[in-house]
């Protein structure tokens, strides 16, 4: 039975995150201090005692979740993943775990990604919404119809688990979509408290900025495959990993399909490394027989 390590994304942060790791583990402590040095400010102080409002800022949230996730993974004795995956931002943590990226390079890329996404959010007001209990095909069809008929951008963004799909787009596009999703039988269509339309064409300006940074960064041969969000299959070629990581900013997070692909390739144990338990819950909904745990 293969052991998959999975890494959460934005939204799993909380005040106090990583404090226990910092205080109880020297390896984790050294990573937090290295991160403070790389970023040029004590992000650990914000993680341990900052307000929820501070931690919601994209340029704080993304590095914070990344640092916590990699620190958690590094506390595991003799961790030997057979495969890794990360939800959105978590893909960067996964790429450190399978040694494609160094911690330092991973953190620098995450910081660039977070700032670029923050800027893209400010360029055009946009948002996301969770659609519950409606078939994926129906959600995609409604999004495509709205985009075609109204000219508003609205796309399927996060395939989290069966019956839970997050859509992303312009404020008007999401407003129309929520009404139509409910009319089509969705149990709920709820606008999320996020700063912008992640994983949609509205992140194009951020994608350009991130692409340059990724192309300028050395990616190693990984020790195990990463199941990347945009293709939902095992990838080991560093050049392809780079392209998929860039495409992820404007492309969907195919989490349901990624977990299904890992299971098809023999995964039975899933360990979530990082703040919260969101992925443990999603994995269990996708594959009920999975053994799930967290660090």
In sequence order, the β-bridge partners of residue 190 are 130
Q: Is 81 exposed, middle or buried (0-12, 13-18, 19+ CB in 10 A)?
A: buried
Contact 220, 133 (CB under 8 A): no
E strand or H helix that includes residue 160: strand 154-161
Whole-model pTM?
0.96
The top-level CATH class assigned to 2-121+201-294 is alpha beta
* pLDDT 10s digits, 156-168: 999 999 999 999 9
Task: Return the biggest CA–CA distance within the chain.
Answer: 57
Active site amino acids: 88, 199
Q: What is the pLDDT along the chain (295 residues), one digit of tens a residue?
A: 999 999 999 989 999 999 999 999 999 999 999 999 999 999 999 999 999 889 988 899 999 999 999 999 999 988 899 999 999 999 999 999 999 999 999 999 999 999 999 999 999 899 999 999 999 999 999 999 999 999 999 999 999 999 999 999 999 999 999 999 999 999 999 999 887 999 999 999 999 999 999 999 999 999 999 999 999 999 999 999 999 999 999 999 999 999 999 999 999 999 999 999 999 999 999 999 999 999 9
Superfamily for domain range 126-191: Malonyl-CoA ACP transacylase, ACP-binding (3.30.70.250)
Report the C-alpha gap between 295 and 285 in whole angstroms.
19
For the chain, domain boundaries: 2-121+201-294, 126-191
Contact 248, 105 (CB under 8 A): no
DSSP 84-133: EEESTTHHHHHHHHTTSS-HHHHHHHHHHHHHHHHHHHHHS-EEEEEEES
Helix (H, G, I), strand (E, B) or coil at 190: strand
Other Cβ atoms within 10 Å of 193 Cβ, number: 9
Helix (H, G, I), strand (E, B) or coil at 15: coil
């Amino acid at each position: 039975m293969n052991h998959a390590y999975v890494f959460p994304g934005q939204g799993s942060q909380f005040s106090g995150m990583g404090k226990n790791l910092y205080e109880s583990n020297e390896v984790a402590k050294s990573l937090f201090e290295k991160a403070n040095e790389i970023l040029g400010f004590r992000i650990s102080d914000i993680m341990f005692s900052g307000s929820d409002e501070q931690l919601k800022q994209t340029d704080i949230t993304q590095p914070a979740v990344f640092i916590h996730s990699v620190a958690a993974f590094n506390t595991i004795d003799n961790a030997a993943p057979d495969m890794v995956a990360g939800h959105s931002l978590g893909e960067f943590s996964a790429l450190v775990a399978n040694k494609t990226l160094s911690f330092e390079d991973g953190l620098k890329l995450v910081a660039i990604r977070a700032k670029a996404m923050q800027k893209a959010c400010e360029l055009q007001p946009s948002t996301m919404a969770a659609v519950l209990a409606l078939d994926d095909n129906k959600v995609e069809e409604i999004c495509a119809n709205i985009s075609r008929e109204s000219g508003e951008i609205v796309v399927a963004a996060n395939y989290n688990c069966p019956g839970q799909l997050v859509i992303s787009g312009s404020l008007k596009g999401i407003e129309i979509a929520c009404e139509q999703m409910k009319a089509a039988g969705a149990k709920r269509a709820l606008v999320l408290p996020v700063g912008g339309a992640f994983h949609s064409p509205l992140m194009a300006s951020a994608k350009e900025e991130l692409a340059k940074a990724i192309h300028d960064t050395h990616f190693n041969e990984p020790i195990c495959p990463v199941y990347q969000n945009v293709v939902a299959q095992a990838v080991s070629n560093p050049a392809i990993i780079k392209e998929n990581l860039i495409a992820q900013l404007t492309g969907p997070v195919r989490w349901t399909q990624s977990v299904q692909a890992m299971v098809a390739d023999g995964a039975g144990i899933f360990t979530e490394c990082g703040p919260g338990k969101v992925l443990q819950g999603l994995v269990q909904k996708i594959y009920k027989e999975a053994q799930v745990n967290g660090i």
